Amino acid sequence: MAASIFATLALPFIAHWYLIARKGESMQDAIRQAAADLARSSYAIALTGAGISTESGLADFRGPKGIWTTDKQAEAKAYQRYDMFLTDPRAYWEEMSGTVGTHGEFYKLLRQAQPNPGHLALARLEHMGIIKCTITQNVDGLHEKAGSKNVIHYHGTVDKLRCTACGLRYDVEKVSLDEIPPRCGCGRPLKYDVVHFKEPIPSDIMQAAEAEVMKCDVMLVCGTSAVVYPFATLPRLLRSRGPARSSARIIEVNAEPTPLTHEAVSDYFIEGKTGEVLPAIAEAVAALI
């Protein structure tokens, strides 16, 4: 049934069909179709958001039980954090290190988290030669812990510090925090290499991500709400400007529909836990190659 629908129906209806028929046999059809698209791809990439790490014990931000859904004060503080760094780097570091407040404890939790089957499935697809690059919003480093090698951290990582003046990055373990704020060799204060609200994406990261999008013919979008920009523009970039835009496939795996689903940017939507759907896709791909 799925094959005939893909062959004969317009894109918006395909996306809607997978949205409303997402259980039982239709779910299996979608997984088989995703595996077939990936197996015959020449350059597939993955985009991931906070939803892929919820099964590692890390709450997402905008889901029903997300950090900002349940704690509006935490969301408000997140919007102020970059301004805090610019105006009072010491206060920023006191909060981020846990000297003041609880944000430091959250970052410790990120470092202690372990990859789940969703991360492992993407690493497996990379090892098969299918996924060429993973572009992630997550700062937790779980893709690397799972074994993925080519990862672009669009919003940075807690394992690095970055100078916003010269762009130099440091391993956080190699920087003394006896005095805060720690400083770059150029004399300017360092910040965690995570992108806060109102902070621009580092140009080297943005260019690397867009270059990967422009090369790909299949995009696997996993666990992202697709409402944070400019990350949310990447699927749209493929659809509007990519060399393979007329034939490119965008596969969406998420716990709930997103703007990519509703606007038919994605070709089809598979509703479910990434830790369950992605291993099933990887297993189906392995059977095809």
In whole angstroms, what is the distance from residue 203 CA to residue 106 CA? 27
* pLDDT by position in tens, the chain (length 289): 333 322 322 333 334 344 433 444 588 899 999 999 999 999 999 999 999 999 998 865 555 565 555 555 666 677 688 899 999 999 999 888 764 444 566 777 777 899 999 999 999 999 999 999 999 999 999 999 999 999 999 999 988 999 999 999 999 889 988 888 999 999 999 999 999 888 999 999 999 999 999 999 999 999 999 999 999 999 999 998 867 677 899 999 999 999 999 998 999 899 999 999 999 999 999 999 9
Whole-model pTM over 0.85: no
In whole angstroms, what is the distance from residue 279 CA to residue 288 CA? 14
Contact 159, 142 (CB under 8 A): no
Q: What angle do CA 189, 192, 196 make, to 5 degrees?
A: 105
Half-sphere exposure (CA, 13 Å, Cβ side) for 101? 16
The whole-number pLDDT of residue 159 equals 86
Residue of 264, 260, 248 lying closest to 223 (CA atoms): 260
CATH class of 1-58+115-155+200-289: alpha beta
Count of CB atoms situated within 10 Å of the CB of 255:
17
Query: How many residues are recorded in the chain?
Result: 289
The whole-number pLDDT of residue 75 equals 61
CATH superfamily of 63-112+158-194: SIR2/SIRT2 'Small Domain' (3.30.1600.10)
The residues pairing with 220 across neighbouring beta strands, listed in sequence order, are 46, 251
Rounded CA Rg of the chain? 20
Which entry of 119, 143, 155, 196 is annotated as an active-site residue? 155
Structure tokens at 226: 């697709």
Burial of 194 by CB count in 10 Å (0-12 exposed, 13-18 middle, 19+ buried)? buried
In whole angstroms, what is the distance from residue 103 CA to residue 85 CA? 14
Residue of 285, 26, 240, 264 lying closest to 130 (CA atoms): 285
Three-state secondary-structure class, residue 139: coil
Name the CA dihedral angle for 210, 212, 216, 219, rounded to a multiple of 10 degrees.
-80
Count of CB atoms situated within 10 Å of the CB of 3:
11
**φ, ψ at 125 (rounded to 5°):** -65, -35
143 is catalytic: no
* Domain residue ranges in the chain: 1-58+115-155+200-289, 63-112+158-194
Helix axes 89-96, 103-112, angle to 10 degrees: 50
Give the β-pairing of 44-48 and 151-153: unpaired
